[in-house]
Amino acid sequence: MSKKYDAIIIGGGHNGLINAAYLAKAGKDVLVLEKRHVLGGAAVSEEVFPGYTFSVCSYVVSLFRPHIIRELNLAKHGYDIIPMDASFQPLPDGDMGLCRWGDASRTRREIARFSKKDSEVYGEFSKVMTHMAKMAKEIIDHPAPDVASINPKELSSLLRMGKVFKNMGPELLQMNTKLLTMSSADFLDLWFESEVLKGPMSVSGIIGTFLGVRSPGTAYVLLHHYMGELDGAFRSWGFSKGGTGGVSIACANAAKSFGAEIRTNVNVSHVKIKNGKATGVVLANGDEIDSKIVISNLDPNRTYLKMIGENNLESNITKEIKRFKLRGSSGKVNFALNGVPNFCKKRDGLEFMKGDIAIVPNVDYVERAYDQAKYGEFSERPYINIVVPSLTDPTLAPPGKHVMSCFVQYAPFNIKEGAENWPKLADKFGDAVQETIKEYVPDFDSLVEHRQVVTPWDLQETFGLTEGNIFQGELTLEQLLFQRPISGYAKYKTPIRGLWMSGSGTHPGGGIMGSGGELSAKSILKDKAI
Amino acid sequence: MPIQTPFHQRTSEHNKNLDWKDWGGYFASNSYNVVNDFEYYAFRHSAGLIDVTPLFKYKVTGKDATLFLSRLIVKDISKLKLNQATYCCWCDDRGMVIDDGTVMYFAENEYFVTAADPSYSWFSRFIKKLDVKIEDVTDTICALALQGPTSRDILKNVCDADIDSLKFFWTTSAKGDGFEFKISRTGYTGDLGYELWVKNADAIKLFDALWHAGQNYNIRMSGIAALDIARIEAGLVMNGVDYHSSLHALIPEQMSTPYELGLGWAVNLDRDPFMGQKALKAEKKNGSKWATVGIDIDWPDLEELYKKHGLPPHTDAGAWRTSIPVYHPQNKTKQIGYATSGTWSPLLKKNIALVTIQKEYAKPGTEVNFEVTVEHHREKVRAIVGKPQFFNPKRKRSIVKKENNE
Amino acid sequence: MSKYDIIVIGGGHNGLTTATILAKKGKKVLLLEKRNVLGGIAAGEEFHPGYSTTGLLHDTSGVRVDVVKNLQLERHGLVLEKHRADVSILSKDGRSSTLTSNVEATSKEIETFSIRDADAYKKYQEFVKKVSKVFNDLMDNPPPNVDVEHLTMASLVVLAKKGMLLKGLGNQSMMELLKVAPMCVADFLNEKFETEFLKAGIAAPAVYGSYGGPWSAYSTINLLMWESAAKVNIKGGPQMLVDALVKASKEAGVEIRTEAEVERILLNEHGVIKGVRIKGGEEINSNSIAASCTPKETFLNLFDDFQLEYELNYWIEKIRSRGTTAKVNIALNKTIELNGKAAEYARTGNSFDEMEKAFDPVKYKEVTDSPFLDIHIPTLSSPSLAPNGHSVVSVLVHQIPYDFNEGWTEKSKKKLGDDVLKELESYAPGISKAVVGMEVLSPLDLEEKYTLTHGHVFHGEHFVDQLVTRPIPSCARYSTPVSGLFLCGSGSHPGGGITCAPGSMAAIEILKTL
């Protein structure tokens, strides 16, 4: 291998591919290396059982930055999101459940069954959240301001933030603090009274974190529903056509169209470092590939401790990176079904099931699920977020059959038996999920043709997510902004010159947003690193 | 999906145009015919019947009901006499309007309140220690508006109540053939008219009785489109169109005070504390920034503009609800206000609009410039500022026995 | 013209502080106290004939020294020890460790069971010492008035200066503080220590009065605040502070009326403070009022509906003050030792998981069977509080919810008392047999007895959004949107506990306008 690339990107997840696309678009010679046989990382579609295609890990798209779609012309490359209209919460004992629709009046009537007040307060709540979302947008669309330095440049970025706060008044301003620090349940308590309604609303704050809905610091994720990126959809959520992997394929196609080279089945062993500078990568088979810079799309733990290696790091950096909390808390169970799992026979048609279905009958239910996880067990009755994407995208399963994807929390990586014993518990975990579903779909067992259980251990071993954390690191305040992944190296740089990061472990964090890939690429170009 | 009102069975039979709208989560007929002028003319010449069930309706009862409403509403509800009704609005602390509606004093410690927006949550948070109960009757009591010069005669034929002496903004109980209902002499057309409130179970009976009796008086089904024309002629502002509820407004610029909406007459300042009192007192003292006016868009001017393009003058048949800029009398690039809704008035033969304008330009007779689009070109046309109320017939307030006194 | 420049509502330690400072500046001050005794939750009580406590709360380590000096409380009989009191951390396995103000000595004792922790404790206290400047600066000054809405370069420079203070820590400590502040106290201490019972004992003050366990984020802030503030000790407990304050206030000319319950705060036609009406109908005029009762009591109970602006009312209603503290006072016919040692102050916790498990039921409005305890045996230093040879054990029981499914009845209170005794048996075997009298105060009792909204001993939870801009932003600097009304109690910055800080800073703000 004599060719020297401008940049090598380790990891073909969506952020890595976006990073490659931006760099290639700027005329750089870019190579993406993916360990697995498929691209996409956690944003991947796989035909797990013949005829059934699953979004194995990440299953809905919500916060993908619209400007990335425009700038990379992703729609041309196959980016296609089918919006979700409904969000359904089945309730036990044959209740009608609660369905929230794009149609505001219809949703109001649904909520009024549980609380008339709540049904009307919804609008007031949205108003406050819209104000808050202005702040959030400001934060996620720019690199994190560096609090450590008090130079005029950083101050002026604060001034820009100031404009966002215009006309908010002191109490609404303080709402920012509340939102950033409070628990999602407490925050919702400021407006709502119905435990049923607060159930599915509060869980958006805990997805992927090892926290409960009553844990401080979970409220701010509620904002994600108010960023309003998908026009006209009640929640800015949707399915990618052909599964979540479709997003990654579109990003890969865009990158290729700009001239990037992408290779799969290439296992990088570590980054080649000479005189404190990254000069390329060393593969597991011993081959070396040279480049001017290297971009790691892996999580901070892998990037620092495996790709760089402790011997190349100062001890205080090693210490800091080891403090970075990953603590995966969720798993996935994917079902291939021979028919439609009807979550509420009292409702007409299947429209109510075409969005997501949240098993979380009330706030206490999910908090009790967390209590169990705190002491090292998976929840016997977990919070499950279910989608049956084949109802809207029939290409995913044979005619009349369905794929059903269940995001399950809590499944703590660190179980008391020890994480390495997860494979032994996988079936028990899958059974707990199936039992829980049966409380709403009594004939569920007879529908199941195949079942795939993805434990946090699998997320680590197969998808390279340390401790099975789907966001490459807990989204707690001390691991966000200028501290993601560690302070001093929050602007996509690392202590190794020429080695950059672009994954969810960098600002602004996890989810299929694309921001890490985009902002890191723009930082690299601005820095004239290549 | 909107749901059907208890009148749906009948209204859908009449709705030949299949033109439905979502009004507060209910199916409402926008127009019953492709050409819907006659639905409007019914209001002015005979009687138009509208299903107004989607109005939000509340029953407020309890020992402190009067006190409660007086505190919430900028009008002094304690002044209402039994069976009297009033148009009113309610505000937040800053004196910004939240919604407007009608309060009817049906019985001792019992009020009936209508609103454009869901208001249960807002009202109920003020109950605190008061002896007040609020019941949302939106889904259990339905309503028809019968509006127009022959509405009185039709109504006389379907019930036992003394309709002749029922005064403007008063209410009465009535018995029809096998059903009971409430009548209020209120409406949204600025004409003689009534609103009829009935239990869901008796909806069809009331409808059929009215329709039957109305045959001799040219009764017609009227849709929202026709109603819009009539209410603009009458200068009645609409929540969500001419102003926005301060509960939903994101920035102060989107909010309005009662004075700015021309509802100053519905504010009673000097009394026990009520929501918005402090701010409204200050505004009364210091003056308002904005005013709501009507403008008469000069027809010859408009004709001239069309002539320039070789076209005859054109105007839309119905009312419009888009925001259109209004400019300074001389400086045609300086925006001084905006029209929020307007219509060609079939009766007045005028192009009229409701306009929010800076106070200094609100004096009747002021000439302003109004933006029109003629053959894809943006042009300015002269318009004259006046009171919002373009049409106010005597019959609106008349009673039969002493017709000339009112 | 009114006889009084200002009326202070509530004769707790903060009300007394405010009243005394104002009177010393020549203001005519009337202080109204609902109960027949002064001192509020700092007052000692005879809970069983012949047996008294020295206050509902125990901890006097945070009393602001400048208040003691300014009011010359030592001249009025206060004995201020210039170090915090020793606290014994108890383990169920019989071990214990005494945390003293002497870090070296404490570390030595820890070394007997963990060399790693002995070292960690020193480093921990070094860190506390570094950051305590920042926290004390925050607590000793009224909240900064930063108007983010009209952010200018000038206000940014002010911010930057505050930032420089942070910088004064040194870059490393500053970054460390920013890193750990949002953390839960369990993560924070797990990074440093290995011994479970020690960690739990050190962490305990962080969760006192809070609606959360050691695994709740931001609890580290509470720990660091407590550690930074805890510097002294009042000999004889809170009641001694009350005695000195009462003497000082009388000398300064404060007129004090007890059993004078304020029913209504009166406004004139312009919405400006006019005076108060007390139970029985008497109206007392004054153009200013300083309320030391809870913000919720002040705004929601002392005003008529609609007298307050909706917005103010709205945000006050949203203050979180979910009480999680109960009190168990025990009269014993002998003296006791805890894990074989005589200790005036002691804490239990045993492990983060056990503390967290004590909190878990609170979320479901249930009460734990194994509470963790905050123990004070006042008779060790003040034997006169009980008959000769007898003793008083005063226990604050944390993570006991105000909002209890079964309701706070005599039966449920008895169960709580029994559970506390059962816990105490682990550290003082045989204690149950020595009990001659016992008083259990549920959070509901605390609300009724001390007018603490929802029984919250700090007048509102100490959580990030309710600190500094305490209780709500528009009332954060002791003045309120109601002209003439000031807040001077624990519901204001820097918060609850026996510090006298809100009372003293409020007085300074009030003087600017009086």
Tell me the per-residue pLDDT of C4-32, one tens digit each, with 9 for 90 and over: 999 999 999 999 999 999 999 999 999 99
- Buried b / exposed e along B275-299 (16+ C-beta atoms within 10 A): bbbbbbeebeeeebebbbbbbbbbe
Q: Which domain holds residue B40?
A: 8-55+138-222
- pLDDT confidence band for C270 (50 / 70 / 90): confident
Interface mutation vs chain B, best among A99, A120, A121, most B CBs within 10 Å: A120
Distance of CA A73 to the CA centre of its chain: 22
Q: For residue A12, tell me if it sits in a domain.
A: yes
All partners of chain C with 3 or more CB pairs under 8 angstroms: A, B
Q: What is the mean pLDDT of chain C?
A: 94
The Cα-based distances of B244 to A240, B238, B253, B255, B267 in angstroms read: 37, 9, 10, 6, 18
Helical H segments across A204-310, by residue range: 245-257, 300-302
Q: Is B13 exposed, middle or buried (0-12, 13-18, 19+ CB in 10 A)?
A: exposed
Q: Is the pLDDT of residue A222 over 90?
A: no
> Mean per-residue pLDDT for C428-452?
97
Average model confidence (pLDDT) across chain B: 95
Residue B403 pLDDT > 60: no
Chain C hits for B275, Cβ within 8 Å: 306, 310
Q: Which domain holds residue A8?
A: 4-44+59-82+241-323+474-526
pLDDT at position A149 over 80: no
How far A214 CA lies from chain C's nearest CA (Å)? 8
CA dihedral sign of residues B300, B305, B306, B309:
positive
CB contact under 8 Å between B120 and A124, yes or no, is no
**Yes or no, beta carbons of A167 and B124 under 8 Å apart:** no
CA distances from B118 to B115, B275, C514 (A): 7, 18, 46
**Nearest neighbour of A124 by CB, restricted to B3, B22, B247:** B247
- pLDDT at C383 exceeding the cut of 50: yes
What is the distance between the alpha carbons of residues C394 and C367, in angstroms, rounded to a whole number? 20
CA distance A169 to A165: 8
**B165 domain-assigned:** yes
Domain-located, residue A40: yes
pLDDT in tens, C105-156: 999 999 999 999 999 999 999 999 999 988 888 888 888 766 555 555 555 5
Structure tokens at A26: 């700027």
CA dihedral over C73, C78, C82, C85, signed as positive or negative: negative
| Gap between the Cα atoms of A504 and A20, Å rounded | 15
B330 touches chain A (CB under 8 A): no
Shared domain for B326 and B190, answered yes or no, is: no
Whether C160 sits inside 8 A of A155 (CB atoms) is: yes
Same domain, B297 and B376: yes
Q: How far apart are CA B285 and CA A7, in angstroms?
A: 69
d(CA A33, CA C450): 68
* Residues B12 and B160 occupy one common structural domain: yes
Asked if residue B228 is part of any domain, the answer here is no
Question: Over the Cα atoms of chain C, what is R_g?
Answer: 22
Across C236-243, average pLDDT: 96
What average pLDDT does this structure show over A62-66?
85
Nearest-angstrom CA–CA distance, A7 and A262: 12
Kindly state whether residue A338 falls inside one of the protein's structural domains: no
CATH at B365: 2.40.30.110
Domain count, chain B: 3
Q: Are residues B41 and B93 in the same domain?
A: no
HSE on the CB side for B58, CA within 13 Å?
24
CA geometry: angle B243, B245, B250, nearest 5 deg:
100
DSSP state of A309: I
Q: Are strands B193-199 and A402-409 parallel, antiparallel or unpaired?
A: unpaired
CA gap B117, B383 in Å, rounded: 33
Rg (CA), chain B: 22
Is B340 in the same domain as B265? no
Question: Within a 10 A sphere around the Cβ of C479, how many other Cβ atoms?
Answer: 18
**Contact yes or no for A165 and C149 at CB 8 A:** yes
One-letter amino acid at A519 equals L
pLDDT band with cut points at 50, 70 and 90 for residue A481? confident
Q: How far apart are CA B81 and CA C419, in angstroms?
A: 63
Q: CB A155: neighbour CB atoms within 10 A?
A: 18
- Chains A and C: how many Cβ contacts under 8 Å? 104
Residue B137 sits at the chain A interface (C-beta within 8 Å)? no
| CATH (domain of B30) | 3.30.1360.120
Distance CA B147, CA B155 (A): 11
Does some domain include residue A253? yes
User: How far apart are alpha carbons A503 and A292 in whole angstroms?
Assistant: 19
* B278:C309 CB<8 A: yes
Distance CA C48, CA A377 (A): 46
Q: Do A106 and B247 touch (CB under 8 A)?
A: no
* Token digits of residue A379: 């929840």
Subunits in contact with chain A (3 or more CB pairs closer than 8 Å) = B, C
Task: Collect contacts of C21-25 with beta carbons under 8 A, ≥24 apart.
Answer: C21/C70, C21/C71, C21/C503, C21/C504, C21/C507, C21/C508, C21/C511, C22/C290, C22/C507, C22/C510, C22/C511, C22/C514, C23/C249, C23/C252, C23/C253, C23/C254, C24/C71, C24/C252, C25/C511
Are C121 and C107 in contact, with CB atoms under 8 Å apart? yes
Residue A221 has pLDDT above 90, yes or no: no
Total residue count of chain A as it appears in this document: 530
d(CA B92, nearest CA chain A) in Å: 13
Same domain for B29 and B159:
yes
- Per-residue confidence (pLDDT) for residue B84, from 0 to 100: 98
Q: Reduced to 3 states, what is the DSSP secondary structure of residue A172?
A: helix
Identify from A372, A477, A481 which residue to disrupt to test chain C contact, counting C C-beta atoms within 10 A and taking the largest count: A477
Helix (H, G, I), strand (E, B) or coil at A58: coil
CB atoms within 10 A of CB A381: 18
> Within its chain, how far is the Cα of C346 from the centroid?
17
Question: Would you state the structure tokens that stand for residue C305, as one six-digit string?
Answer: 């509906």
pLDDT grade, residue A225 (50/70/90)?
A: low
Interface test with C, best of A147, A166, A171 (most C CBs within 10 A): A171
Domain assignment of residue B249, yes or no:
no
**In a domain? residue A483:** yes
pLDDT at A402 over 60: yes
Whether residue C352 contacts residue C223, with contact meaning beta carbons closer than 8 Å, is answered with no
Q: What's the pLDDT score for residue C76?
A: 97
**C285 burial type by CB count under 10 A (0-12 exposed, 13-18 middle, 19+ buried):** middle
The 3-state DSSP class for residue A294 equals: strand
CA distance A214 to B128: 28
Is the bond into A485 cis (omega within 30 degrees of 0)?
yes
Triad C12, C17, C18: Cα angle to 5°: 105
Structural domain count of chain A: 1
Nearest to B92 among C305, C306, C310 (CB): C310
Which of A193, A215, A188, A216 has its CA nearest to residue A369?
A215
Dihedrals φ, ψ of B6, to 5°?
-60, -15
Query: In the numeric block, which tokens belong to residue A444?
Result: 């569920």
Mean pLDDT of A465-492: 92
Return all residues near C252 (Cβ < 8 A) that are at least 6 apart.
Answer: C20, C23, C24
**In CATH, what number is assigned to the domain containing residue A299?**
3.50.50.60
Please compute the mean of the pLDDT values over residues A74-78 and round it to a whole number.
95
pLDDT tens-digit series, residues A486-519: 988 999 999 999 999 999 999 988 888 999 999 9
d(CA A305, CA A166): 44
The reply to whether B322 falls in a domain is yes
Query: Do residue B301 and residue B377 come from a single domain?
Result: yes
Instruction: Round to whole Å and give the CA distance between A117 and A107.
Output: 13
Q: How far is B318 from chain A (nearest CA, A)?
A: 26
Same domain? B193 vs B117: no
Residue type for position C448 = E
Q: Is the residue at A281 inside a domain?
A: yes
For B330, how many CA atoms within 13 A lie in the half-sphere containing its CB? 0
CA nearest to C501, candidates C492, C512, C511: C492
Q: What is the 3-state secondary structure (H, E, C) of B370-388?
A: EEEEECCEEEEEEEEEECC
User: Tell me, what DSSP letter sits at residue C42?
Assistant: G
pLDDT of amino acid A152? 59
Which residues on A lie below 8 Å from C148 (Cβ)?
Answer: 162, 165, 173
Average pLDDT over residues B264-286: 95
CATH of the domain at B108: 3.30.70.1400
pLDDT of C215 strictly over 80: yes
Output the pLDDT for position A233: 37
Characterise C430 by phi-psi region: left (phi > 0), alpha (psi -120 to 50), beta (else).
left
Q: Is the ipTM reported for this complex over the cut 0.90? A: yes
Any domain includes B300: yes
DSSP letter string, B352-374: EEEEEEEGGG-STT-EEEEEEEE
How far is Cα C434 from Cα C387, in angstroms, rounded to an integer? 14
Based on the fold, state whether residues B67 and B123 are members of the same structural domain: yes
> Which of C310, C313, C314, C482 is best to mutate for the B interface (most B CBs within 10 A)?
C310
Residue B175 has pLDDT above 60, yes or no: yes
Q: Among all chains, which residue has been given the structure tokens 């208890």?
A: B6
Top residue of B74, B128, B131 to mutate, by most chain C CBs within 10 Å, is B128
One domain, residues B218 and B104? no
Minimum distance, in Å, between the CA of residue A436 and any CA atom of chain B: 31
Distance from CA of B334 to the nearest CA of C (A): 28
Residues A295-338 pLDDT 10s? 999 999 999 999 999 999 999 999 999 999 999 999 999 999 99
**Pair B47, B185 in one domain:** yes
Min Cα separation B9/chain A (Å): 21
Nearest CA in chain B to C309: B93
Q: Would you give the DSSP letter of residue B114?
A: E
CB contact A198 to C (< 8 Å):
no
Residue B252 lies in a domain: no
Q: Does residue A420 sit within a domain? A: no
CA C324 to chain centre: 13
Please check whether residues B80 and B192 belong to one and the same domain: no
In the three-class reduction of DSSP (H, G, I as helix; E, B as strand; rest coil), residue B143 is classed as strand
Q: What is the pLDDT of residue C254?
A: 98
CB B80 within 8 A of CB B103: yes
Based on its alpha-carbon atoms, the radius of gyration of chain A, rounded to whole angstroms, reads 23
Q: Is residue B240 part of a domain?
A: no
Taking CB atoms and an 8 Å cutoff, what residues of chain C touch A325? 187
Evaluate whether residue A368 is within a structural domain.
no
What mean pLDDT comes out for the span C338-355?
Answer: 96
pLDDT over 80 at C162, yes or no:
no
Query: Is residue B78 in some structural domain?
Result: yes
What is the distance in angstroms between the Cα of C441 and the nearest Cα belonging to chain A? 27
C62 pLDDT higher than 50: yes
